[in-house]
Amino acid sequence: MAALNTVKIFSGSYSTYLADLIAKDYGRPLGGYTCRTFSDGEISPIFEESVRGCDVFIIQSTPPPMDNLLELLLMVDAARRASAHYVTVVLPYFGYARQDRKDKPRVAIAAKLVANLLSASGADRLMTIDLHAGQIQGFFDFPVDHLEGTSVFVPYLKSLNLDNLLIASPDVGGAARARNFAKFLNADMVICDKYRKRANEIASMQVIGEVEGANVVLFDDLIDTGGTMCKAAEIILKKGAKSVRAICTHPVMSGNAYENIENSLLEELIVTDTLPLHRESEKIKVLSVAPLFAKAIGRIRDHESISSLFINNQ
């Protein structure tokens, strides 16, 4: 019989690659779990060991298709019905986070709906990293531990010893995020102002600020098709920059993203492993967030603050 408040870590089908690393860094193997799929596509998650009285951590990113989110919800429900003491959802990538407001009439706020679903499933806590908008934390009525990718990116960027470093936001909406990142590197910042006619298609872009002679690093929370980053790199280099790199926490990498990056003027694209890459690329550098999540799980277990994991407190 499991001891009271024993920590058990489980992974949904999508995030096993990252969950294995998190469990290894934490010092405990992943719990036994299978997800049956019926002939009609219906899924049925099953925990293969007792979770009664345990603090359960369920790791699963939720990019499309919706099966990833549904599996996570069913796992939380199964853990709750199996008398788990406390259920924490570890969401490395929060799918649908970009739909966080009504930007036009008659549209859904998908991020809020996902938050409601997680609450209804019985989750007690959420742990995630670099949400598309920090305000999404307010969609939840239970604690949210919002980790920051800066603690992974800043040491790597410092190791490159780039002179005349300049941080760039690929759009006006990400200016606050880029400014915060620039602060840790004692660097200045510029902004790329873009206009879209439709999703994933840029009509025009201009750079606000001086980039001549600088080593520029574009900073954003995710990269999807890569169109914005590639266009920004092209414009910045035309304005006299020495080099352009891009840093994005979540490598969504849909459509022609790999071709766009490989054919771009970017020196490299630096991402984390919150989402798996579908193929390798010489231009893509992957930094793992597994140690960060493992430390956060340990602090939650011990009822300690996780603020010490933020780079401004290190």
Catalytic residues: 194
Q: What is the dihedral of CA 123, 129, 130, 132, to 10 degrees?
A: -30
Distance between CA atoms of 104 and 113, rounded to whole angstroms?
17
Instruction: Measure the CA–CA gap between 282 and 291, rounded to whole angstroms.
Output: 24
CA distances from 122 to 44, 62, 116, 131, 192 (A): 17, 17, 10, 21, 41
Q: What's the N-to-C CA distance of the chain in angstroms?
A: 39
Residue 222's contacts (CB-CB under 8 Å, 6 or more residues apart) are: 93, 132, 248, 249, 250, 251, 252
Q: Is the peptide bond before 29 cis (omega within 30 degrees of 0)?
A: no
Strand partners, 285: 270
Element (H, E) at 196: strand 188-198
Measured distance CA(269)–CA(257) in Å, rounded:
11
Q: Which distant-in-sequence residues (6+ apart) come within 8 Å of 111 by Cβ?
A: 94, 96, 97, 98, 99, 100, 132, 136, 139
Strand, coil or helix: what is 216? strand
Q: Which two tokens stand for residue 253?
A: 């990498």
**Cβ-proximal residues to 247 (8 Å cutoff; 6+ apart), any chain:** 153, 157, 181, 217, 218, 219, 220, 269, 270, 271
